[in-house]
Structure 1
Amino acid sequence: MAFAQGNMSSPFYEDALQRFEKKDYPGSIIQLKNALKQTPNNLPVQLLLGKALLENGDVVAAEVAFNEALRLGVNRAEVVVQLGQSMVAQGKQQDMLSHPALQPAGLPNGIQLKMHLLRAGAQADLGQTAPALLSIDEARRLDNRSPEVWLAEVPIRIRSRQFTEALQAADRALGIAPQLAEAHYQRGSILHVQGDLNGARASYTRALQLDAGHAEALIAQIGLHLDANRMDDAVRDVATLRRISPKEPRGSYLKALLAERQGRVPEAQAALREVTALLDPVPMSFMRYRSQLLMLNGLAHHGLNEPGKARQYLEAFLRTQPNSPVSRLLARIYLSTGSVNEAGTLLENYLKSQPGDGLASNLLGSVYIAQGKHARAAALMQQTIKLQDLADYRTTLGMSLLGSGQTTGALTELEAAYKKDPKQLAAAIVLSQLYLHEGQQAKGLALIQTLVKQQPANASLHKLLGMALVQNGDAQAARASFEKAAQLSPELTQAQLHLVRLDLEARALHAAEQRLTRLLKANPRNTEALAEMARVADLRGKAAEAQTWLEKARDNSGPRELRWNLALVDLHLRAGRPEQALAEARIAQGKSSDNITGLLLYSRAQLAMGDAQGARGTLGRATRLADFDADLQVDIASQQLAAHNPDGAYYSLDKALTGQPDSLPAQVLMARVEFQRGEVAKAEQRARSIVQKHPRRAVGHMLMGDLASAQNHPGPALEAFRKAHAVEPSSGTTLRLMQTLETQGNDKGAREAATQRLRQMPKDAVVLHALAGLHARAGRYTDAGHSYQALLLFQPQDVSALNNLANVQLKLGDKGALQTAEKAHGLAPTNALVIDTLGWAHHHFGQHDLALSLLRDARLREPANPEIRYHLAKVLVQTGRQGEALEELREAMKSGRPFEGAGDAEQLLKSLN
């Protein structure tokens, strides 16, 4: 079992932690690697290994360990500073700045401050002076009483020869921390550059009095000694420098310089070889941002009579002088490569000289549709049809109107195209699908059946008929159509894939997997089959396997294919991995910056990372591209609300209702937005209008109830929710009714509402979840357990139900809690709450070593969760680590968030204090 292995690794980890605290980093690394042999995916071990490797100077391996910790689910606040440091130490400044997990937004203030300063240093290395100063300003907004936020400005100002500003920043730092050695050193460095050698010497001396091991101050002081020809002082300080920093290449170079001045050539040569031995292995990617080191190694190789190597480093040094990197982006992508954007540019330029070329206009219209520029496509095609009215052109016009949400106009144009030319298969297919979408099932199905009769050997049309039958709810007839398509054209994999989807809908996972295995045997690069394999894995609760399949689909897809990137974004978001979602969304953006689905997923990832401002910008672009597509604008508006931008949501919904005034989702959301904007009367009027137009739909009554609740009108709210449930009973209406009754103190009424629904729909998972939670909050743990068990009878892999059941069983003292928690953990091994429950269960049954290992893991994944910190502290006390427990309890109580066990946590904190 995995937990037995975890127990075997625990002694290694605890010993490594003690070694780390004593600064025995090599010993700590050895023990951590021993721990990983026992449990390769142990999150606390990976994190501590990264820290130990970083302290030991192995920055490449440290970066690997920190990224592995992120992959395993560590909360990024635990690693961002050290990961950023390890990347900068390798010269990966640009990578560090763009790394999705290293963005400051959403981090705790203290960590944000450190990241802004780290970014400022990286930006300064890249010659980006203005962004670096902006990053420092961001840090100061968080805490302008920290000396670091002022000292960070000094080297940037020196590099720009802005000595007055540099001195002001250094003096601000000294005013805050007059005993800080670094502040005195930085002030001395300004005076040194200005030629005030006496002032610089005094500042360096003061820095060394405060911190005798301050290497930079010591090196600067040696330089002053050499300039003044005080050789004895220089020899003394060089010896000190080499003692405190034996791997400092400047110490070796200074020793060589002194030896050469004194005529000790062999000693000088040996010291120069120390320099090259230290610097040659350093990646040039790092060295190019450290001009002093480039010059140092160039001079060392020159002194060793190695002109080739000297030239390499000296030329690189000269390339650093312009202070900012020069990059040139050249783009030559043509239509044949599948680049939609550049195809549009090419056609636009062509049509400037050949405005009457209808075929080019039609092609450009298709490009605009692919870009989501439906209004532009419609305008172009309307103009083209004035010059020449062809069925093809009306088809494209119909498509563009459909894309902009103008359904009636799209129907008219597509019907005209099909009437003008019954061979317009594209128009007929889209027209049939439009009929189905608009609720005209009989008309849509009849049109497709007509097409099938006209071309009975056309496998694609049989496939289309199957899709229509699926929409009509006739899965059996649909399966027959797909099988006919596959029989007519065995190479038509889409028919097989639709059969797979029918298998998946029926939860026939084994049959679906067998069919997919055959498809992939014939074509291992079939991306849709790979993606469906991911769906099979996802339905089995195997998230890691699903991710692997989707990554294969992505890696085997074309350069402009976005579907699998977007599926990965969605998978990462559902799994609570916003950093990975953002990284994947950025890849998708690189493939197509104007894809609306990609923009919406990108904004979701930004929101998950806490970057509401960035999300608002992304959604603004999406709004412009979506034109008057009501469905898209509703999605955009929903995300604008999540980004705290009701005005942006209002704008999107206004466009939606301009394009489709009768869009019910847009009307409902607009009422909610109007209420948020303080336009209460307008919101209520709109809600009443929805009820009048759709009296047998729950949505209007639900909206009335929500508006009443928001205004603290409990009676009308309850009446509205009862009406909603009466006209259209569902999981959602039952849940809202239950919540309202419970809020108003009517626990019995809430239970009766749930019971009534479950009599009609015994397998309503949503209501069973809600009823179980209702019982648990009221202390009816036995009843709660029964509800969760009833749910698990037909949803045995419901992680939330298993986790909650385990907690209920712990309340009842039921030893079955451990088995239940283990089952939940097996299905969701990276879920912090699930890991916490399992660790807490082990603690309850006396298995403290296993509990400690699991709770450390959970705490690293959700450090802001006070209950997890309390659980960890409780076990730390049991295992004799009171100091660490005290720190966890302080953080838990500092959060101010209520949590179960808060009273016990407070008492435990008092006892430890």
Structure 2
Amino acid sequence: MKTTKILHAALFSLFLMSASVFANDNVDESYEKALIAFQNNAYPAAIIHLKNIIQQNPAHMPSRVLMAQILINQGNGAAAEVELNRAKEGKVDNDRLITLYGKAYILQGKYDEALDIAVLGQRNPQIESELLLIRGQAYIGKKQYQLADRVFISLLGLQPNNQFALLGRAQIALQESQVDDALNYIDLSLNNSQPFINGWILKSKILHRLGDRKGALLAIDEALLIDEKHLSARLTKAMLHLEVQEYQQALPHVDYILNEIPNEPRAGYLKAIINASLPREDGSSPTDDKSKLTEVIATLAAVPPEVMKTTPDYYFLAGLTNFQFGNLNDAHRYLTNYLNYVEFDIDTVRMIASIEIEQGQLDSARYLLQKTNLARPNNPDILTLLGVTYLQLGESEKAQFYFEKVVDSYPNSTVGVSNLARSKMQSGDYIAAIETLSAIKDNEVNGVQIKLLLIDAYQNTKNYPLAINITKSLLAEFPNDSFLQQRIGTLYGLNGQLTEAKSAFEKSVKLDPNNITSMVHLGRMDNIAGKSDKALAYLQNKLTLFPKNTLLMTEIADTYLFKNDIDNALTWLQKAYAQEPNNFYVISKLSRILVNQGKLEEAVDLLDVYIGSNPKDPEGLLTLSELYQQQNKHQQAILVLRDYVEKSRNKAQALIVLAKAQLLAKDSVAAEKSYTQAMIADDTYLPAYLGLVNLTIKNKNEDFSLSLIASIAELTQSSSLTDVLTGDLYLSLNDTKKSIDYYKKSLQNSDQKQAVLGLYRSYKQSNNIRKAIEPLKKWLVKYPDDMLVGIALADSYKGSTLLKKSSEYYGLLLEKYGPLPILLNNAASVEFALGNKVEAKAYAEQAYGYLPENVTIIDTLAWIKSRMGERDQAIALFRVALTKDYDNAEIKYHIAATLYALDRKTEAKKYLTEAVDSQQQYPEKPEAIALLTSW
């Protein structure tokens, strides 16, 4: 039987993998030692272990993350950021990194970056609390104390005894000279079994301000009792001694700091004072030391020169640069300063208004644009932005007024009106598009252009027969037009009429021997037919006639890709790029092949150069954002996509792309805003409604979801779709009785795969999964090749304790679809439950061999290893999984049970508590709760 062969192959791959597993044993053992050292605050020892690991295996991401944690605890934010960037490149889960990034930014004084990354979302309460804390600290750093206080109050609402929030409120009270309040907050924070050292340090500073030097020294001594190595505490004590000229007492503390961080500026300053004040051993004058002191004082006292004030153009350049890079807050500040010198500058107003619209400051944007329009009337950019502003304010009549004024300013612009018509057609409003085109006074714009635009629209909506009919009507008028023959050839190809397509392309080239596009299509058709050598000979022959044509060069590169000749493909793309470095078609292909070769940074650099040279082209931004997402750099991708939205003609579609990126970054609040803006931009754009309703369903917002579903019903006139969505809503609300009713209702009207899978999930959630078996089997009779429903049926057998049936069905799926990782992984769980541990492990190892980055597959393999006694290997795998999905409660339960078996009970209890406290549901949660209760 084929399943036996698969199992043998799995066992053989397990044998081959064993060498690499044993090779990793030293790394895993060293990591555990580093972790234990970290937990005991033995940072130098932990760093030694981690450096050894990273030298041996630079891709060991748990070590990168732990190194960043240690560096943050040591106050070295810059070095921590370097490690975090490497962890991000290694695709460590953003939930694991986001708070560490925030802390690293705070340490470096990068407060805007901290605010940008510490965006609240739908993460677990602990992460959200830490993000609130980071935001509060950043606001304090920016001296925005009221905002900081609001954040700390919110945090205390979640965690009334949060020491950090109490200390934050103390800092703010101190800034407002409310010293008694500050001391009260600090004393509340210190009323804890393990008070934070920062509370004592801050209390020392307040008592010092009150003139209670003795109390200040006692407080700082309490801090040093907690951690004698704490640099800030030592610095504070040194300053207290220096104030009363106790230089000898201050010196050990300063020397200790400089020994740890040689270039620490404040300690350097204090050292200079000490050196300048203490007599030298030889009795000579400390002149040199005084000169050094002078330099230190000059450096610390220096303020940035007033260059910007005397040369206002620098404000504009700084604003423009920040705007282009997406640093909107800095850009707004610089541009506002520039506007004080050059009032109503159009470019400046345009950027400021765009930023304010982006940030939702619509009244401010409207006021600025109205003032500018009065001073410099009828500028199309200003009028357009006014239209956009009113549109987002919901005042559609005023928005239309300004948009019409833009058209009135350029009534004969064929390009402008054609673009408007094209956007209307993309939304399906063909009548309005034709009316817009007919309104142009230029008689040269006639029915021919309308038909060409309609052909584009029908092609984009995959309505190829209608597009072909319109093209045929044009060919009846212009039978010798090479371009029309090319167009109908393309449409025939898309419609699967390959013989007609080839004939049309041949006619096109015969009518115009210079029609490169038709030549390329002919070569492409040979490639599709498996005749790559014929295609290559044809295209290279044409290149001798057009030796600098980049379209032919890129098609030759594609032909080499068909032949799997990567080196030659790259060579030809580089030749094309040398000819046309600003051709995005070439850029996109070249960046794609660089990515396939693992040269992500080169691809990013390539696109950066292109975007810099073509700032108005949005396509480069879209491709760049995709590359950032591949590198797990979600915030950079979002910044790029904000620019993409700004520059895109189809705002609704662009906003959907932005929303999906924000969801990848787990910023559901921003995603909801983007979906809403897409609906405002085009109130008939179905993907915007579907994206938003899926988000509101996930967030369990019943009223809003039902309202959106009603709107979708009006748009689609499809009761099946709306019934499915309503079923999804009630399933998310755990009302499985209603969800089952709606899914059944949907299936009565039409075959909806989402509905039959929804039934399966509903029965599973209501612990009645056996009832899912019949609907799934019925579906598979009609659609026997539906693998997802097949997997659901196998899982239903498992959930119904029909383990042998489940095992047999997974065997059939493996025979039919081959050793797909998802099938191997699921089969591994079933075989283990049946007691077939060797087979289970073999399946899990094979799945892991195919997808070693997949969290579910890692967890399955690790959990099997754990229960088979291979706990050290299991722990190493669990730690990797948690770097990729930090908030996964099921993995935390598994690692807790494994650690407990290794007698590491403190760490085990931490993970188990988090697994039980999580809102996530997973099959073993009752066992997790019982285990925690027993502990």
Q: What range describes the TM-score normalised by the shorter chain of this pair?
A: 0.7 to 0.9
2:139 is equivalent to residue 123 of structure 1: yes
Verify the 8 A CA contact 1:201 1:224 in the aligned structure 2: no
Verify the 8 A CA contact 1:562 1:591 in the aligned structure 2: yes
Query: How far does residue 328 in structure 1 lie from its aligned partner after superposition?
Result: 0.7
2:671 is equivalent to residue 615 of structure 1: yes
Instruction: Identify which of 429, 448, 469 aligns with 1:406.
Output: 429
Q: Which residue of 1 aligns with 2:538?
A: none
Q: Which residue of 2 aligns with 1:762?
A: 784
CA distance 1:636–1:253, shift in 2 (3 Å): closer
Q: Which residue of 1 aligns with 2:302?
A: 315
Verify the 8 A CA contact 1:215 1:241 in the aligned structure 2: no
Q: Which residue of 2 aligns with 1:602?
A: 658
Q: Which residue of 1 aligns with 2:830?
A: 808
Instruction: Identify which of 318, 321, 334 aligns with 1:328.
Output: 334
Query: How far does residue 589 in structure 1 lie from its aligned partner after superposition?
Result: 0.7
| CA offset digits 1:567-611 (Å, max 9, x no partner) | 6767888x8x9x733430222213443743333233334445554
Q: Which residue of 2 aligns with 1:138?
A: 154
Query: How far does residue 855 in structure 1 lie from its aligned partner after superposition?
Result: 1.6
CA distance 1:46–1:225, shift in 2 (3 Å): closer
Distance 2:380 2:197 in 1: 70
Distance 1:849 1:723 in 2: 52
Instruction: Identify which of 562, 565, 583 aligns with 1:511.
Output: 562
CA distance 1:647–1:749, shift in 2 (3 Å): closer
CA distance 1:181–1:571, shift in 2 (3 Å): closer
The 5 Å alignment of 1:59-70 reads 59-70=77-88
Secondary structure at 2:24's aligned position in 1?
A: helix
Query: Percent identical across equivalent pairs?
Result: 20
How high is the TM-score relative to the length of structure 2?
Answer: 0.71
Question: Comparing 832-841 with 513-522, which one deviates more in the overlay?
Answer: 513-522
Q: Which residue of 1 aligns with 2:798?
A: 776
Amino acid at match of 2:79: A
Distance 2:843 2:519 in 1: 41
Instruction: Identify which of 92, 96, 99 aligns with 2:114.
Output: 96
Amino acid at match of 1:865: N
Instruction: Identify which of 125, 129, 132 aligns with 1:109.
Output: 125
Question: Comparing 263-272 with 778-787, which one deviates more in the overlay?
Answer: 263-272
Q: Which residue of 1 aligns with 2:46?
A: 28
CA distance 1:494–1:346, shift in 2 (3 Å): farther
Instruction: Identify which of 171, 175, 186 aligns with 2:202.
Output: 186
Amino acid at match of 2:791: H
The 5 Å alignment of 1:109-508 reads 109-159=125-175, 161=177, 163=179, 166-167=182-183, 169-170=185-186, 172-173=188-189, 182-193=198-209, 196-197=210-211, 199-209=212-222, 211-212=224-225, 213=228, 235-239=248-252, 242=255, 246-247=259-260, 253-254=269-270, 257-258=273-274, 260-264=276-280, 302-303=291-292, 306=295, 311-316=298-303, 327-329=333-335, 380=403, 395=418, 398-399=421-422, 401-402=424-425, 406-411=429-434, 421=444, 426-435=449-458, 442-451=465-474, 461-469=484-492, 472-474=495-497, 477-478=500-501, 489-490=515-516
2:861 is equivalent to residue 838 of structure 1: yes
Amino acid at match of 1:851: A
CA distance 1:109–1:869, shift in 2 (3 Å): closer
Verify the 8 A CA contact 2:591 2:606 in the aligned structure 1: no
Q: Which runs of 5+ in 2 are unaligned?
A: 1-16, 310-328, 340-344, 356-364, 531-557
Verify the 8 A CA contact 2:275 2:286 in the aligned structure 1: no
Query: How far does residue 857 in structure 1 lie from its aligned partner after superposition?
Result: 0.9
With a CA cutoff of 8 Å and minimum separation of 6, indicate the structure with the bigger relative contact order: 2
| CA offset digits 1:235-280 (Å, max 9, x no partner) | 335446645885476566556545544543879998997xxxxxxx
Query: How far does residue 112 in structure 1 lie from its aligned partner after superposition?
Result: 3.5
Distance 1:363 1:234 in 2: 64
Distance 1:844 1:240 in 2: 51
Question: Comparing 131-140 with 874-883, which one deviates more in the overlay?
Answer: 874-883
2:643 is equivalent to residue 590 of structure 1: yes
Query: How far does residue 41 in structure 1 lie from its aligned partner after superposition?
Result: 1.7
Query: How far does residue 499 in structure 1 lie from its aligned partner after superposition?
Result: 6.6
Query: How far does residue 883 in structure 1 lie from its aligned partner after superposition?
Result: 4.4
CA distance 1:757–1:110, shift in 2 (3 Å): closer
Q: Which runs of 5+ in 1 are unaligned?
A: 274-299, 669-686, 688-697
Verify the 8 A CA contact 2:621 2:644 in the aligned structure 1: no
Q: Which residue of 2 aligns with 1:691?
A: none
Query: How far does residue 134 in structure 1 lie from its aligned partner after superposition?
Result: 3.2
Query: How far does residue 528 in structure 1 lie from its aligned partner after superposition?
Result: 4.4
Distance 1:338 1:543 in 2: 38
Verify the 8 A CA contact 2:81 2:104 in the aligned structure 1: yes
CA distance 1:640–1:711, shift in 2 (3 Å): closer
Distance 2:410 2:242 in 1: 85
Verify the 8 A CA contact 2:152 2:165 in the aligned structure 1: yes
Amino acid at match of 1:143: Q
CA distance 1:757–1:513, shift in 2 (3 Å): farther
Verify the 8 A CA contact 1:113 1:142 in the aligned structure 2: yes
Q: Which residue of 2 aligns with 1:73?
A: 91
CA distance 1:12–1:629, shift in 2 (3 Å): closer
Verify the 8 A CA contact 2:676 2:688 in the aligned structure 1: no
The 5 Å alignment of 1:663-742 reads 663-664=715-716, 667=717, 687=719, 698-699=720-721, 712=737, 720-724=745-749, 728-729=750-751, 731-732=753-754, 734-736=756-758
Verify the 8 A CA contact 2:421 2:433 in the aligned structure 1: yes
CA distance 1:723–1:40, shift in 2 (3 Å): same
CA distance 1:7–1:402, shift in 2 (3 Å): same
CA distance 1:899–1:328, shift in 2 (3 Å): closer
Secondary structure at 1:152's aligned position in 2?
A: helix
Verify the 8 A CA contact 1:88 1:96 in the aligned structure 2: yes
Distance 2:601 2:391 in 1: 28
| CA offset digits 1:345-378 (Å, max 9, x no partner) | 99999999897xxxx9899999999x99999679
| CA offset digits 1:781-810 (Å, max 9, x no partner) | 343344445445565575433322232233
Query: How far does residue 380 in structure 1 lie from its aligned partner after superposition?
Result: 4.9
CA distance 1:464–1:144, shift in 2 (3 Å): farther
